[in-house]
Structure 1
């Protein structure tokens, strides 16, 4: 993200702002920025007297301000980091007076996870004027694969599109969780080696053959034998393969397939752009469109909605996951 690079550049050039208010739904960048400030503003000798970490659950805005107003000892700056500051959300507006006139030798870092300041209120405007307001937004699922690719490129690695999809499917959109698994891979894989599905399976434990990605592909190709094997595997390992995830992914796939049918321009670039998918996966829609005409796709989407409700206990209480999966496959192919 450009804003992250800008913050890092300011710090590296010795021009830090007095306040960094880090907020938003995605905690990954909030943690990374606060960690960078903690590790790079002060020397190890200076940190003992001039770096303090407070926690929102155990402090108050008044305490934060009192610490921020202190002067550094034998250093140019002191750093005050407030973690889990969202627990101060009820009183956070009382930080206004400090934000309007911050201590120039203090770098105050507020980690306000999963919440945002009200743009209409004084604190937002005061921080915007005197410091840095950083909003960390949650990435959409179709953006996470590209994030993984860029993150790995930054570490000196390449990663296949299928490997990215496997990680997103298994770990969701939590960037911190994904980054932890990527870090594990970098410990055992050299930079000359592409991260493949085989390496993902070996070192992270995600099956390269029995996952929702392969199920979706098999269904798109109307490969009933392969789809049945995957369904059987899911039925035997329900905790690792929850039905709600499977039905949601397939619902998204068929909704995109319906969009595909409605396009006049089926060129790979246009399909990827309109459907919001990696160009690598456009061929799947081309194949599936031949196997499932538009009218059939509409019927499948309706069936998947009913199965989603059954999976949540609506109209079919205590229905076994194995039975739901078999019905799902029967409804589609």
Structure 2
């Protein structure tokens, strides 16, 4: 995020590079940087003649280079943006020749999503000398809640740890999807609001009581009644709560518990760092570790592997997912 801030600051201050090659698995920052260049570099009256958006599936590298070599009309720069440039992956190395001597009055922006160019080859090495190469890396799940807080802070919103975790559980690590939901919340909630689980439930439709986060917590507490209430809700709403996702999340949870049992230093700060969890949730893991000794955790992990296969239809074609999930809970809590 610091790298993105520096890029944005340089662009605002007109410290422009002739090529911005934006690549990587996380599309959110690629789109943000590209959109910022599109909206900022040229004045509105200059864009008609000097700003061009191309799409990788519709052009060749020669088309891109030809456009980039044009001179601006009545403006200091022209901006050429190539969206979905990953569709040019087979020929992208041909851009290296242009990158050796790029047009100084052109700002060429290449959006190369979900892929990376080979850092051993000429294009990458040349771009590092004459332009900007930005790699947008996918965040790990344990990093997304902090990202949510950082995004909300300058907009004068905060979010509770549970509400942030609900978003991560439901939307995964797709920052674009999460940001879309955050923007919806900012429309309906006044500045200064702390976004709560109730806000998430009312405006996004994620149940604050019946979700995978609450299921894991209930299992860790060995709260059988709550576990079976949540499982019944999941069985009644299978499209919103696919078993394969629940099993995967439980596998990650019990893997963390196994790691916890192996820690020498079980102080809250050390646990939060080792398990890569928010310190707010450390007590939940301490409680779960008391209720699930290491031998039981190992047995549960083995059971989850079995049910992962069965949830995908291997050996359980005739068993409804809800029944399979109930059977899994019996095995875990027994």
Please indicate, yes or no, whether the TM-score normalized by the shorter chain is above 0.5.
Answer: yes
CA distance in structure 1 between the partners assigned to 2:64 and 2:156 by the alignment: 40
Q: Deviations over 1:189-233 (max 9, x none)?
A: 112210000000001110000000001111100110011000000
Provide the C-alpha distance between the structure 1 equivalents of 2:3 and 2:293, rounded to a whole number of angstroms: 45
Matches within 5 A, 1:240-319: 240-319=240-319
Structure 2 CA distance, aligned partners of 1:139 and 1:154?
20
Give distance in 2, aligned partners of 1:168 and 1:319: 29
Q: Distance in 2 between the 1:261 and 1:13 partners? A: 52
C-alpha displacement of 1:317:
2.4
For residue 149 of structure 1, what is the aligned residue in structure 2?
Answer: 149
Partner of 1:206: 206
Gaps in structure 1 of 5+ consecutive residues: none
Superposed CA deviations along residues 94-145 of structure 1, whole A, max 9, x for unmatched, are 1111100000000000000011010111111111100000000111111111
Task: Give the TM-score, by structure 2 length.
Answer: 0.98
What is the alpha-carbon distance in structure 2 between the residues aligned to residue 305 and residue 21 of structure 1?
41
Q: Match for residue 102 of structure 2?
A: 102
> Is the Cα–Cα contact under 8 Å of residues 26 and 113 in structure 1 kept in the other structure?
yes
Is 1:15 paired with 2:15?
yes
What pairs up with 1:112-127 in 2 under 5 angstroms?
A: 112-127=112-127
Look up the SS of the partner of 1:90 in the other structure.
coil
Q: Identify the range of structure 1 (20-29 vs 152-161) with the bigger mean alpha-carbon deviation.
A: 152-161
Q: Is 1:195 the counterpart of 2:190 in the alignment? A: no
Cα deviations across residues 159-180 of structure 1 (Å, max 9, x unaligned)? 0010111001111110000000
TM-score, structure 1 length as denominator?
A: 0.99
Task: State the secondary structure of the residue aligned to 2:159.
Answer: coil
Q: 1:154 Cα deviation (Å)?
A: 2.4
- Secondary structure (helix, strand or coil) at the match of 1:265 reads coil
Distance 2:289 2:296 in 1: 10
Runs of 5+ consecutive residues of structure 2 not aligned to the other structure: none
Once the 2 structures are TM-superposed, how far is the Cα of residue 316 of structure 1 from its aligned partner?
A: 2.0
Hey, what's the Cα distance between the residues in 1 that align with 2:316 and 2:322? Answer: 13
Post-superposition, which runs of at least 4 consecutive aligned residues in structure 1 deviate over 4 A? none
Q: What's 1:91 paired with? A: 91
Q: Distance in 2 between matches of 1:316 and 1:130?
A: 58
* Aligned-pair Cα RMSD in Å: 0.8
Shift of 1:291: 1.0
Q: Give the distance between the partners of 1:205 and 1:12, measured in 2 at CA.
A: 38
Structure 2 partner of 1:163: 163
Matched residue SS, 1:207: coil
Q: Please give the alpha-carbon distance, in whole angstroms, between the structure 2 residues aligned to 1:123 and 1:271.
A: 43
Cα separation, 1, equivalents of 2:147 and 2:318 = 39
Contact kept? 1:310, 1:319, Cα under 8 Å:
no
1:45 CA displacement: 0.3
Deviation at 1:3, TM superposition (A): 1.4
For residues 127 and 262 of structure 2, what CA distance do their matches in structure 1 show? 47
